[in-house]
């Protein structure tokens, strides 16, 4: 068979879809707008903004210093002086909750960005190069994929020691294979289009074709993937802190707080309950955003057809 | 409109009226913008009405509304569609279900998408008979099934009926769709460009089948197309649509010989003429989309006859003769002109080939593979300096493969010599020098795929300029504007994105991008196959002028033999990876030697 020949005005083209010119300009802008119409996205963004606000503004409004001893260990809450009681060595729980969000969110974001950068690069290269590069890289990624992310991160952290940058890098790297798959699939499809071939005919450098021609066309699925991976990063980073590989005492950190205070959960549940609730709500928020984006993307593909 | 619908014609009066559409109006759903308005037409028993218009003229929307169906975002806002006196638009869901596929059926443009890929074709065909309760027994239906298959010239043996749609060719799929449409002996059938995806030979068969079935069953058929040549030999009457309104309706001969609307006449002039006696004339601009249509007569901006009145008010229905209705303020003057389709003297400048021209591209004994399969077998041909060679063939003939081999875009094995000005060319474009990549420019088939939708037009045009020239910002800007001027596009478009352009404009942009490289050879791969006939004519005009003015050498790949005379001096006819005939255009078209060329010639629709 030679190159497939299509010489039809496909029905979408004969009767163009009813979309205004300005709305068609950028697919991902359109996706954001479409996603924003959905209730789930609004709730997700609301939750995310709320938690981020706590993490960012918390230290400014906290009543005490996070390392200040304000009461005997596991004191119950007291109105106006100690809303959530004290923790296992007598720090104010509310203060530590307000301080403890920054690290989780920052580390999760950083890890996700690293994973995205690495995964997208791998996906672009394998999707465009095909042949042996594609085969070998994807098989290696398959091996990485075979390990649960938490096992993989624990393995490296226990070998190399609990360093913050290492956790970020490892969580990021452990995301890369999944992101690479998504990016590769999108790249495969886009690189079939003639504008890529036109760029090849001009002799434009391969890396320029990857980043200037193909990357802008696959941003939408990547945005969805980013939201999803962020959710997993939050969970992973919190879990690592809980296991003692993240922030070290006396730092205030939600994951660490859960671990430190779990022995007293019967007499003083707040230092465990609050971080658990906040982490849980945060992941629900990011997940709702990713879900909204994903649904919007599917909706747009259905409406406009693949041109 | 009253006069439009009451004017039942003398010529068709004897025949029984089956379908009557009156004042049909279809709007975009939330906005209420017109897609179609004041659409009135009637079709009699055994008659084919051709519904012709450019993209976005609303013709498909009219077609589906006859079945009271609208795609998402559109709705029927008024008018009536009567089949045998019953208004389809008033029917409830149950009644509608029973007439769809029964009394009225629909053949879509792309049958491969309309057949269920998971069901055997026998099952699908039987289903339509069962759903509508055809016959009284299974034996009846089986007999009918065999008959249906015979009607569309397909085998009806068990083995064939057990096939899945993907095991059929495009033509066979389309025939199954037609068999399905005729299954329950409908009164009305709507055919929406059923042959656009097919090769000319297959198209000829399908058109013949449609004609025979319509006549023998006395079906009233609506045949929707953008190509007047296709309906020229099929339709009894033709309705021309522009911007959602029927601007002229009449018998085939009335419209072809004495069209009274400027648009009808322009559409006719844009049909490529295989005899080459007529110059090909495109219609500048494009048909406006719903919501972008000018007030008054929407054709005014593209019309040579326009007067002030045209922009103010849409003209009423004028009856030229019984059954021939037109909507134009100046229809009398327009109609007084002679027929469009008469030979013009000196319409074509015949370019004689000197005995030995300098060869720009020469291909010697080239064999090419796709994966491991040989698809081109020992091709030898050449493009002479300043000449255009047309490469004609049906899908799968290897014409695109050959063009891509020359352009360095064929990623598989190639054996043989391809030379540019006497020097051998590297197989892969990346292996070629910058000067060679610049000299040989390739224009792709689909302008919807060849332009990056994420880039502005300035960014698209700057690609070749950045690669091939060392220019300052200002020089770059100048070159871009110049390239746009060469293809008659406005320089204000530079900051726009490709999806803000029409199909024809996109293809012009693709041409401009190639021209910006200042090439020696232009390879055009089916560059008009995604475009309306009217736009195709304009693109061909443009390419011919560019070739002449810039002394470009050109390789023009096409499936349409009728286009060849308008653009090229030499032609090579390809079939199954071989060149079956090669020579000067006039010689080949007037006195074809190969059987394949003869067949191709006779199957090409002409007017």
Residue of B nearest to A21 (CA): B500
| Interchain CB contact of B337 with A (< 8 Å) | no
The CA distance from A260 to A89, in Å, is 9
In terms of Cβ atoms closer than 10 Å to its own Cβ (0-12, 13-18, 19+), residue A113 is middle
Q: Which residues of B touch A3 (CB under 8 A)?
A: 370, 400-401, 404
Helix (H, G, I), strand (E, B) or coil at B208: helix
**Mutate: best of A9, A22, A305, partner B, most B CBs <10 A:** A9
| Interchain CB contact of B286 with A (< 8 Å) | no
The CA distance from B65 to B58, in Å, is 11
Measured in whole angstroms, the distance separating CA B9 from the mean position of its chain's CA atoms is 31
Chain A closest CA to B500's CA: distance in Å? 6
Q: Which two tokens stand for residue B94?
A: 């149950």
**Spatial contact of B542 and B487, defined as CB atoms under 8 Å apart:** yes
**Mutate: best of B200, B368, B453, B514, partner A, most A CBs <10 A:** B453
DSSP-assigned letter for residue B100: B
| Interchain CB contact of B454 with A (< 8 Å) | yes
Residue of A nearest to B289 (CA): A16
pLDDT given at position B102 = 85
> CA distances (Å), B103 to each of B186, B391, B605, in order?
4, 45, 30
Block residue for tokens 């629909």: B106
Chain A closest CA to B185's CA: distance in Å? 27
**Are B109 and A200 a contacting pair at CB < 8 A?**
no
Section A221-231 average pLDDT:
90
Residue ranges of alpha helices (H) inside A161-269 are: 164-190, 194-202, 206-208, 219-242, 254-261
Residue of A nearest to B407 (CA): A201
**Mutate: best of A12, A195, A303, partner B, most B CBs <10 A:** A195
**Are A201 and B445 a contacting pair at CB < 8 A?**
no
The CA distance from B368 to B365, in Å, is 10
H or E element in which residue B74 lies: strand B74-83
Q: Which of B426, B417, B427, B490 is nearest to B457 (CA)?
A: B490
**Spatial contact of A188 and A180, defined as CB atoms under 8 Å apart:** no
The CA distance from B70 to B167, in Å, is 31
Q: Which residues of A touch B61 (CB under 8 A)?
A: 15
Which of B468, B499, B531 is opposite residue A24, by nearest beta carbon? B499
The CA distance from B464 to B495, in Å, is 17
> pLDDT digit string (tens) for A144-162?
888 888 898 888 888 988 8
Which of B226, B430, B530 is opposite residue A203, by nearest beta carbon? B430
**Spatial contact of B494 and B484, defined as CB atoms under 8 Å apart:** yes
Which of B28, B467, B559 is opposite residue A18, by nearest beta carbon? B28
Strands B86-87 and B74-83: antiparallel
| Interchain CB contact of B393 with A (< 8 Å) | no
Residue of A nearest to B196 (CA): A8
| Interchain CB contact of A28 with B (< 8 Å) | no
Which of A9, A21, A197 is opposite residue B196, by nearest beta carbon? A9
Interface of A with B in 179-208 (CB under 8 A): 193-195, 197-204
Q: Which two tokens stand for residue B218?
A: 């006395």
**Spatial contact of B461 and B480, defined as CB atoms under 8 Å apart:** yes
Q: pTM score, two decimals?
A: 0.80
> pLDDT digit string (tens) for A16-56?
333 344 444 566 777 888 888 888 899 999 999 999 999 99
Q: Which of A108, A87, A44, A31 is nearest to A258 (CA)?
A: A87
Which of B437, B455, B530 is opposite residue A9, by nearest beta carbon? B530
Q: Which two tokens stand for residue B157?
A: 């043996």
| Interchain CB contact of B401 with A (< 8 Å) | yes
Strand intervals (E) in B252-333: 318-321, 324-326
> CA distances (Å), A84 to each of A33, A149, A279, B341, in order?
40, 34, 17, 91
Instruction: Return averaged pLDDT per consecutive 10 residues of chain B, 607 residues in all.
Output: 40 73 88 87 92 86 88 85 89 88 86 84 90 85 90 88 88 88 90 83 86 89 90 91 92 89 90 78 80 87 88 90 91 82 52 63 91 89 91 88 93 91 89 92 91 90 93 92 89 85 87 93 90 86 89 92 89 92 90 91 83
| Interchain CB contact of A259 with B (< 8 Å) | no
Phi, psi torsion values for B390, nearest 5 degrees? -95, 135
pLDDT given at position A25 = 52
Q: Which residues of B touch A16 (CB under 8 A)?
A: 55-56, 289
Q: Which residues of A touch B453 (CB under 8 A)?
A: 27, 217, 307
> CA distances (Å), A29 to each of A41, A44, B401, B451, B567, in order?
15, 18, 38, 20, 43
Q: Which of A217, A239, A237, A230 is nearest to A289 (CA)?
A: A230
For B151-189, b/e burial (b = at least 16 CB within 10 A) is bbebebeeebbeeebeebebbbbbbbbbbbbbbbebbbb
Q: Is the pLDDT of residue A250 over 80?
A: yes
Please give the ipTM for the structure prediction. Answer: 0.77
Q: Which residues of B touch A204 (CB under 8 A)?
A: 463, 467
**Are B55 and A26 a contacting pair at CB < 8 A?**
no
The CA distance from B20 to B41, in Å, is 6
| Interchain CB contact of B408 with A (< 8 Å) | yes
């Amino acid at each position: 068979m030679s190159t497939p020949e299509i010489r039809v005005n496909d029905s979408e083209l004969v009767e163009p879809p009813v979309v205004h010119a300005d709305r068609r300009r950028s697919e991902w802008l359109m996706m954001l707008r479409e996603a924003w119409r959905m209730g789930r996205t609004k709730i997700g963004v609301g939750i995310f903004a709320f938690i981020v606000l706590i993490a960012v503004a918390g230290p400014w409004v906290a009543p005490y210093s996070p390392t200040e001893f304000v009461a005997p260990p596991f004191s119950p809450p007291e109105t106006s002086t100690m809303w959530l009681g004290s923790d296992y060595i007598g720090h104010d729980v509310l203060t530590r909750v307000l301080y403890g969000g920054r690290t989780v969110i920052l580390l999760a974001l950083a890890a996700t960005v690293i994973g995205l950068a690495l995964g997208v690069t791998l996906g672009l290269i394998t999707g465009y190069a095909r042949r042996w590069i594609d085969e070998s890289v994807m098989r290696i990624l398959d091996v990485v994929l075979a390990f649960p992310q938490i096992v993989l991160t624990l393995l490296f952290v226990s070998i190399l020691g609990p360093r913050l940058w290492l956790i970020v890098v490892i969580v990021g790297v452990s995301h890369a294979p999944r992101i690479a798959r998504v990016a590769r699939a999108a790249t495969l499809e886009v690189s079939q289009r003639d504008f890529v071939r036109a760029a090849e005919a001009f002799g434009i450098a391969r890396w320029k074709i990857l980043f200037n021609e193909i990357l802008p066309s696959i941003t939408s699925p990547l945005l969805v993937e980013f939201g999803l991976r962020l959710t997993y990063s939050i969970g992973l980073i919190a879990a690592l802190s809980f296991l003692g590989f993240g922030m070290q005492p006396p730092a205030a950190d939600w994951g660490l707080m859960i671990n430190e205070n779990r022995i007293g959960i019967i007499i003083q549940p707040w230092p465990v309950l609050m971080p658990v609730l906040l982490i849980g709500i945060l992941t629900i928020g990011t997940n709702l955003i990713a879900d909204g984006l994903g649904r919007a993307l599917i909706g747009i593909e259905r409406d406009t057809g693949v041109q | 409109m009253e006069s439009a619908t009451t004017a039942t014609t003398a010529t068709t009066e004897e025949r029984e009226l089956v379908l009557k559409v009156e004042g049909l109006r279809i709007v975009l759903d939330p906005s209420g913008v017109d897609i179609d308005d004041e659409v009135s037409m009637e079709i009699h028993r055994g008659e084919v009405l051709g519904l012709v218009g450019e993209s976005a003229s609303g013709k498909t929307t009219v077609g589906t509304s006859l079945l009271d169906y609208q795609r998402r975002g559109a709705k029927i806002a008024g008018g009536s569609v009567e089949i045998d006196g019953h208004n389809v638009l008033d029917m409830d869901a149950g009644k509608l279900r029973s007439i769809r596929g029964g009394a009225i059926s629909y053949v879509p443009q792309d049958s491969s998408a309309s057949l269920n890929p998971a069901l055997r074709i026998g099952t699908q065909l039987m289903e339509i008979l069962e759903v509508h309760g055809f016959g009284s027994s299974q034996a009846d239906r089986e007999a009918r099934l065999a008959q249906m298959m015979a009607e569309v010239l397909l085998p009806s043996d068990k083995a064939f009926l057990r096939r899945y749609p993907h095991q059929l060719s495009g033509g066979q799929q389309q025939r199954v769709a037609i068999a399905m449409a005729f299954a329950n002996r409908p009164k009305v059938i709507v055919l929406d460009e059923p042959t656009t995806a097919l090769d000319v030979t297959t198209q000829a068969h399908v058109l013949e089948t449609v004609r025979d079935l319509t006549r023998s069953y006395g079906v009233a058929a609506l045949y929707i197309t953008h190509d007047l040549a296709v309906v020229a030999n099929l339709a009894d009457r033709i309705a021309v649509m522009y911007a959602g309104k029927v601007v002229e309706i009449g018998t085939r001969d009335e419209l072809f010989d004495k069209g009274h609307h400027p648009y009808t006449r322009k559409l006719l002039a844009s049909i490529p003429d295989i005899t080459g006696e007529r110059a090909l004339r495109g219609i500048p601009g494009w048909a406006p989309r719903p919501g972008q249509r000018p007030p008054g007569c929407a054709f005014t901006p593209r019309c040579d006859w326009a007067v002030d009145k045209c922009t103010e008010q849409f003209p009423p229905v004028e009856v030229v003769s019984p059954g021939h209705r037109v909507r134009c303020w100046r229809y009398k003057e327009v109609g007084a002109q002679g027929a469009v389709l008469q030979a013009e003297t000196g319409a074509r400048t015949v370019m004689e080939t000197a005995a030995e021209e300098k060869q720009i591209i020469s291909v010697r004994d080239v064999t090419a593979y796709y994966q491991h399969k040989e698809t081109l077998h020992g091709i030898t041909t050449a493009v002479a300096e300043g000449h255009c060679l047309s490469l004609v063939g049906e899908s799968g003939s290897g014409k695109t493969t050959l063009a891509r081999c020359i352009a360095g875009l064929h990623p598989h094995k190639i054996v043989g010599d391809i030379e540019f000005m006497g020097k051998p060319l590297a197989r892969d474009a990346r292996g070629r020098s910058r000067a060679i990549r610049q000299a040989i420019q390739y224009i792709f088939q689909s302008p919807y795929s060849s332009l990056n939708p994420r880039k502005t037009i300035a960014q698209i045009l700057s690609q070749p300029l950045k690669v091939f020239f060392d220019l300052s910002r200002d020089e770059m800007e100048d070159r871009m504007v110049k390239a746009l001027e060469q293809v008659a596009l406005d320089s204000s478009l530079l900051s726009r994105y490709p999806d803000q352009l029409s199909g024809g404009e996109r293809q012009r942009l693709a041409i401009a991008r190639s021209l910006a490289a200042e090439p020696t050879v232009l390879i055009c791969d089916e560059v008009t196959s995604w475009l309306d006939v009217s736009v195709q004519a304009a693109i061909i005009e443009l390419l011919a002028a560019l070739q002449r003015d810039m002394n470009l050498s050109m390789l023009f790949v096409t499936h349409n033999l009728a286009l060849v005379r308008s653009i090229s001096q030499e032609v090579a006819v390809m079939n199954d990876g071989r060149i079956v005939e090669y020579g000067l255009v006039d010689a080949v078209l007037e006195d074809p030697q190969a059987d394949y060329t003869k067949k191709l010639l006779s199957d090409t629709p002409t007017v």
